[in-house]
Structure 1
């Protein structure tokens, strides 16, 4: 603790260490945030048994009638042990009297450590002083840090983010380093104008959805940079900004009162401290969400939208928090861990923020209050932060524990990213400034939450794998496939994505290992947003054995896909994990190849049959449960393996509410609102398939060369669309005036094609398993024509679709649906009936619940457990 007394030009300082033990303490004196007082002005007196004393001789330049801040720092080999500060205004008369040896009492010193002080609103402008020059080493470190940040932003976000960032640093460097009052005033005026324009542009007519509360005390430059970064990054969320000003003695009130638009500045009458500042300012919040943002942050693209997204995507969410980054682009926090002794970890601190373990939505013990969101209804209900922790610290941890006690989750939202200048708001050393409250509040937190700490938290540093995402009481599943699913590109990806989503929805903690370990940016986020840890990156290449050896004991299930991928993993899994191994074969490959061989007679296919029969057989031997989509495939496997371990697993699942919405559209739509009725012009035939798959290439060629000539005899004008990724020349060459070959298309475009199609065709002459294109067409309520191979695994579907195996019959079936709209509509509704019964979430869960009991609530129709 520091105490001091000012007499004339002399300041007497006394320091008492909290533990009563004196060390090699030194006193550092900072003038006006800028420069250190020369050591010759600080005299160390003889220390007493339990305290150390110094005497400071203030330089005459401070006696100019202007206010100056004097900050006292007690250091021990660079570590700040304690600080204190006071506002000092001295007159030349006092300086002259003191110099003459009068010894009269000097000006009153206003201590800022223990009590809030009023703002001097009529203070004269400070005199020009020489700005401090940064140490060369420090300057170099700062440049290197900003270079790394620029690299991170360009690689992970955009060039726009990277190009905006230097201007935010420049705001801080310019204002905090400017000792010329006139220049500082001009700079602030320019920034006010910039904020006024941005704030007015953001002030549109939409209702406010979120109020962003920014508590501020001093450091106007940081607050300006935070506000500008927020206003300059586009958000679909309509928001307002509230600056909670704790009677800052700088220009905070003047600057932000002038901005207007979406921004409002509230200046409290006294320094309320961080917690009360937040609570009082939030009383003025509007909209559905209260968002708390530190004033020492820079916002990155998507911050606010991504911070609020989990509330819309998951059930029972009470609090979300951003990924916090250091100013050099390294990770500051990916959610927080609280241990049994109430100590905490900023998970991932100092590490690479792009690593997979820091980039999936997850439950956490707490999120640091630098950037958090909470529904306003819940905030009001609990009364905001618990004021037993005033002025600061453990407020954010207590908030998360309070919500947990109410059955609400705290989620880390990694795509919501902010740069946080740690320590500007509270300081960084536990013995300095309000940081001293950290230890005292830890004791209060422990007393309040002792039972939860004992029952739910791990001892300090133990079981980090489970502590990082609060998965101690959840089952863990590892999913392995050849790459991150690309559901808009191939049917196998649609299958894998739908099941990974089902597992996550049921409350399993899912990790996904793509065999190629490639971080596919177009698709990885879709899984991470579901709460799935997607493993990727060069650091994992060749390391699966190490990974499973370390984490295998935590796994309850492993879901393997594709025999040529599963064979590389199943041995290590069996050696290092007690998990139940579930193998999903997308089709019985050797049987599909046998049908192709029977049709083509190619000798190389015969060799492939033997290879795949042996490979699949070895996977079956090591699997606990085997799944295939078609009943005849399951029967074939059960004839070859003991124990009846093979079961039917439908390849596609759709949320029940989504299917209900499609039914409503088809059943209730008027002719004018149904795309197939409203569309003018020729009928449209749609064939969908990934053309890296040989059956689809053969089907497209058969359709164009053999079926369409017969169809033109009955229906002279129509358009044929061949929609699918990676068409080879054999497919691209089919393009003509009435044949469109699309190549890759996005899901929204594909959906538009489905809604616009008159008839969907699946002209498959061979293949294996349940065909995704069949189920997809029925799901969208479009009448369908296919072949007998297209029916495989879909028992009971014949009444819903048209089936034909010769070119003439296939063309006749298409013509029948085009010419008879009533028949087409009846077939469409029957097809949707079939999908609702066989391919809804509840149906998929029924197929799996015997082997994964956690899916039973979904199978019983009790709804999704974790995700909305």
Structure 2
């Protein structure tokens, strides 16, 4: 009957799906229209809708809900009363699409907040009118989520149950909007709402659906007129939530939230508020796997995760996402051996080639007794691990299996055969006599090497001549640690540090000097081995010979280093058998304790609580610094975290052992943890403020200095520091203020016209730095802040600024375009956020008339998870790129940098950073005064309360190539002068030495 099922209601070249009139859907939704058309003589449903239907509150398609739109948006309702619009849809088509949600199951503002990359510029350039257009066209298919109450993964499960009701041409969302009630209510499409439970709890709703007042249970819940009288599912109670959290009641009464659940979904779930008496959301959130799943957007909150687990509907998916269960070692050992057997046929057909031309780089000493499959697997792993010159020396210690044919699988090896089992120790010493390489590797035949293990060990030994031996991280077949370096106790017993723990623990993944490393993998300087005579024959046939060798290496004045990048999987006791091994171990322990008693008497007593003290060799132990920060200072976080990261790096370069302790709990990825800090730094990720006292007590006497970053952290910790002072260095901690906030606070009050404080500047300053009385020294970033600290009564004050190396990007002025801001936005209202609001709202509009429309403003850098970026993204000039790894490319393609900060303290790192990349900038006079740079030769500046002057400076710099070159050269010279890494290190060294004296 209707050849054109969809009629565009917009003149755009590509009309959004939400703008089209759907005749077929319209007649199904409003069946009475057929009779009305006949009575009124209308030619078709589209004409009827235009002349009559829209005034009756009809929706033109499934994607727009006319009745809800009128009720949800007060301005639309008032416009209809004034007859400014024929319908809500006419308003939406004309202007509402920019800001208003069109349907109770799609939230336009929330969609743009969730995905800040969907700036107005991005949408326009890609042909989308708004976020809803993007979602319907490509967002849904790319797993974007348009509403808390619609999860396409759950809807897909429903589609599998009712395939005839879903149309792939319009997607899951469009199909669901057209479902009959009995299908829509058959199962969840969100972890936030349970339609089956809802209809059972409120049977009257089913009657209202049958009467045509609502299309589904979810429709009723999201649109009914008494929202506080209905609970959405068994895990949330409106009555309990309001009683347990009375602070939300004023917001509910003033209509800021539809009901308590609206508040909970938007804010309460992230805050860990209790949704019901028997639901401990905070405890659920504390689980690492839960936080990881939420961070990775598998669930949008810990509450959704909890519901998924409790309902049982998600058992398969939850099982797949759960933490990996423990692997029974008896099973993992069998698997390890079966895998070894599987490669034998291949090695017979394709032998491993260990032929060496010239002098080998490393001589591998391997003693084997039977177990041909294990040997073959170890050798295949060795050859695949390193392509350089390996001299392979195999000692066949009287094998009875196919090991006698090992030569058919290996070419170029030196094979020493003995008719009887001469034992591991004697076999190694005989192999050592044949070694030709400068480095020798003791390697078990029951191991598999992880990527680049040989290369990392070689680099370690080649890089530091004082190292005598390098060992690695040994992981047993069940993927638990055998050792992360080993401790020799006072009684001669040994302990593999962190045995049975997770190999990815940060405490297992920093480089340190140790007492010894097991010779399952131990790379040693060959000349040193020969000088020491190899293994001591008094330990024949095996066990404690490697511990004894390591002690003799240490006595020779050489270091033994544990390198966690050298990773080895080890079938413990795979080459000897555990029963006989334990007997040998007990016997040789006595021999070791007797022969090395002069060494042992200085070791830690054998107790697990002494493991932290004993995990590093006592003679080579470096002086230790406990570095405390808000969170692990990752460079991508910007702000003062870059400076903190630099301090840690320089402390390490100066020879100190640094432990970083974050006061606030934050989940970090392995890439963050192990890629942003020197390899010798210990990162604490399983502790925070709540466990700080226990942490300090466990490490009594361990640290030589405590360095506390940021004054508010000292305030938080001060009661604990006072209580635990007997466990800490006697001199007291160092406070690195990062910024003295009093001037910034008062400037913010002035700029934002906030109520003035009731106390004076000096009283505020005294309050801010009162906690510093506990400290032996106060560090500031500028001389100005140092004077403020002294003004507050702090006597011992030092200045430590930033360090930067100029690294100008090469692109010339004419090849660069656009304006850049690069800085962290941790919170709304923070200095960077405020500066961007001012620039986007007050400065950018002034540039519209003087700069071409294609010139855009890029906002880059870390953005906190709770920061709403839509205040910027709706401007057609703004592009938001978020955090970037290496910012060089970003700086290389932009022409002007802006720092429109209106209130701040300390030194603006972003100004120094932009200058170091050779990007000229316009800053506020506040920042110009802080860096002390000259106007017109190093920077352009304008007052923070004069947007016209700031815009004029941006335009001038954007157009004037000669000025651009002048500022670039001047700022690069200023960075070299003010941010010298050598000066930074010297200042830091002086501070630390004076505090440890």
Q: TM-score, normalised by structure 1?
A: 0.65
Counterpart of 1:647 in structure 2 is 798
Alignment of 1:300-315 (within 5 A): 300=450, 303-304=453-454, 307=457, 310=460
2:743 pairs with 1:591 = yes
Cα offset, 1:771, TM superposition: 1.2
Structure 1 residues 435 and 572: CA distance shift in structure 2, 3 A: closer
Instruction: Give CA-to-partner distance per residue, 1:337-365, whole Å, 9 cap, x none.
Output: 23456543333344555555434322111
2:863 pairs with 1:726 = yes
Task: Report if the CA contact (8 A) 1:288-1:377 is conserved.
Answer: yes
2:852 pairs with 1:699 = no
Counterpart of 2:819 in structure 1 is 685
Q: Which has the higher helix share?
A: 2
Task: Report if the CA contact (8 A) 2:398-2:417 is conserved.
Answer: no
Counterpart of 2:910 in structure 1 is 773
Counterpart of 2:811 (choices 676, 679, 691) is: 676
Task: Report if the CA contact (8 A) 1:587-1:769 is conserved.
Answer: yes
Structure 1 residues 389 and 783: CA distance shift in structure 2, 3 A: farther
Task: Report if the CA contact (8 A) 1:649-1:847 is conserved.
Answer: yes
Task: Report if the CA contact (8 A) 2:484-2:562 is conserved.
Answer: yes
Task: Report if the CA contact (8 A) 2:371-2:403 is conserved.
Answer: no
2:648 pairs with 1:516 = no
Task: Report if the CA contact (8 A) 2:393-2:413 is conserved.
Answer: yes
Counterpart of 1:741 in structure 2 is 880
Cα offset, 1:775, TM superposition: 1.8
Alignment of 1:444-843 (within 5 A): 446=596, 450=598, 457-458=603-604, 464-470=611-617, 474-518=622-666, 520-522=668-670, 523-526=672-675, 529-537=678-686, 542-576=690-724, 577=728, 578-603=730-755, 616-642=768-794, 644-650=795-801, 652-654=802-804, 659=805, 675-677=810-812, 681-693=815-827, 694-708=830-844, 716=852, 718-726=855-863, 728-730=867-869, 733-734=872-873, 739-746=878-885, 748=886, 750-795=887-932, 800-805=938-943, 806-814=946-954, 817-818=957-958, 824-825=964-965, 827-843=967-983
Task: Report if the CA contact (8 A) 1:629-1:793 is conserved.
Answer: no
Cα offset, 1:197, TM superposition: 6.8
Counterpart of 2:275 in structure 1 is none
Alignment of 1:165-176 (within 5 A): 169-170=334-335, 172=337
Structure 1 residues 527 and 714: CA distance shift in structure 2, 3 A: closer
Cα offset, 1:336, TM superposition: 1.9
Cα offset, 1:712, TM superposition: 6.2
Structure 1 residues 846 and 192: CA distance shift in structure 2, 3 A: same
Instruction: Give CA-to-partner distance per residue, 1:460-513, whole Å, 9 cap, x none.
Output: 659544322135653322222222222112222212221122222222232222
- Listed as ranges, the gaps of 5+ residues in structure 2 are 1-317
Structure 1 residues 833 and 273: CA distance shift in structure 2, 3 A: farther
Task: Report if the CA contact (8 A) 2:895-2:920 is conserved.
Answer: yes
Structure 1 residues 789 and 575: CA distance shift in structure 2, 3 A: same
Instruction: Give CA-to-partner distance per residue, 1:294-347, whole Å, 9 cap, x none.
Output: 112244566556656755887844432222233444432221223456543333
Alignment of 1:224-373 (within 5 A): 224-227=376-379, 242=392, 244-251=394-401, 253=403, 256-259=406-409, 265-270=413-418, 273-275=423-425, 277-278=427-428, 290-300=440-450, 303-304=453-454, 307=457, 310=460, 316-339=466-489, 342-351=492-501, 353=503, 357-373=507-523
SS at match of 1:567: helix
Mean Cα deviation higher: 429-438 or 515-524: 429-438
Cα offset, 1:368, TM superposition: 0.9
Cα offset, 1:742, TM superposition: 0.3
Task: Report if the CA contact (8 A) 2:638-2:824 is conserved.
Answer: yes
SS at match of 1:580: coil
Q: Separation in 2 of the partners of 1:236 and 1:739?
A: 49
Structure 1 residues 541 and 258: CA distance shift in structure 2, 3 A: farther
Q: Separation in 1 of the partners of 2:953 and 2:554?
A: 59
Structure 1 residues 214 and 724: CA distance shift in structure 2, 3 A: same
Cα offset, 1:592, TM superposition: 1.3
Task: Report if the CA contact (8 A) 2:649-2:678 is conserved.
Answer: no
Q: Separation in 2 of the partners of 1:364 and 1:192?
A: 41
Cα offset, 1:606, TM superposition: 8.9
Task: Report if the CA contact (8 A) 2:663-2:689 is conserved.
Answer: no
Structure 1 residues 174 and 511: CA distance shift in structure 2, 3 A: closer
Structure 1 residues 608 and 388: CA distance shift in structure 2, 3 A: farther
Cα offset, 1:382, TM superposition: 7.3
Q: Separation in 2 of the partners of 1:720 and 1:208?
A: 57
Q: Which has the higher strand share?
A: 1
Task: Report if the CA contact (8 A) 1:389-1:395 is conserved.
Answer: yes
SS at match of 1:554: coil
Q: TM-score, normalised by structure 2?
A: 0.57
Q: Separation in 2 of the partners of 1:822 and 1:406?
A: 64
Counterpart of 1:221 in structure 2 is 373
Mean Cα deviation higher: 758-767 or 831-840: 831-840
Task: Report if the CA contact (8 A) 1:471-1:509 is conserved.
Answer: no
Task: Report if the CA contact (8 A) 1:590-1:612 is conserved.
Answer: yes
Structure 1 residues 560 and 380: CA distance shift in structure 2, 3 A: same
Counterpart of 1:94 in structure 2 is none
Structure 1 residues 369 and 173: CA distance shift in structure 2, 3 A: same
Counterpart of 2:34 in structure 1 is none
Cα offset, 1:816, TM superposition: 5.2
Q: Separation in 2 of the partners of 1:555 and 1:171?
A: 42
Cα offset, 1:370, TM superposition: 1.0
Mean Cα deviation higher: 730-739 or 787-796: 730-739
Counterpart of 2:345 (choices 192, 207, 217) is: 192
Counterpart of 1:6 in structure 2 is none
Structure 1 residues 312 and 618: CA distance shift in structure 2, 3 A: farther
Structure 1 residues 403 and 470: CA distance shift in structure 2, 3 A: same
Q: Separation in 2 of the partners of 1:823 and 1:498?
A: 32
SS at match of 2:626: strand
Q: Separation in 2 of the partners of 1:266 and 1:584?
A: 60
Task: Report if the CA contact (8 A) 1:317-1:411 is conserved.
Answer: yes
Structure 1 residues 797 and 512: CA distance shift in structure 2, 3 A: farther
SS at match of 2:971: helix
Alignment of 1:137-176 (within 5 A): 169-170=334-335, 172=337
Instruction: Give CA-to-partner distance per residue, 1:85-123, whole Å, 9 cap, x none.
Output: xxxxxxxxxxxxxxxxxxxxxxxxxxxxxxxxxxxxxxx
Cα offset, 1:689, TM superposition: 1.0
SS at match of 2:679: coil
Q: Separation in 1 of the partners of 2:509 and 2:701?
A: 23
Structure 1 residues 199 and 427: CA distance shift in structure 2, 3 A: same
Mean Cα deviation higher: 758-767 or 419-428: 419-428
Task: Report if the CA contact (8 A) 2:491-2:593 is conserved.
Answer: no
Q: Separation in 2 of the partners of 1:279 and 1:809?
A: 80
Structure 1 residues 735 and 535: CA distance shift in structure 2, 3 A: same
Structure 1 residues 172 and 583: CA distance shift in structure 2, 3 A: same
Structure 1 residues 494 and 428: CA distance shift in structure 2, 3 A: same
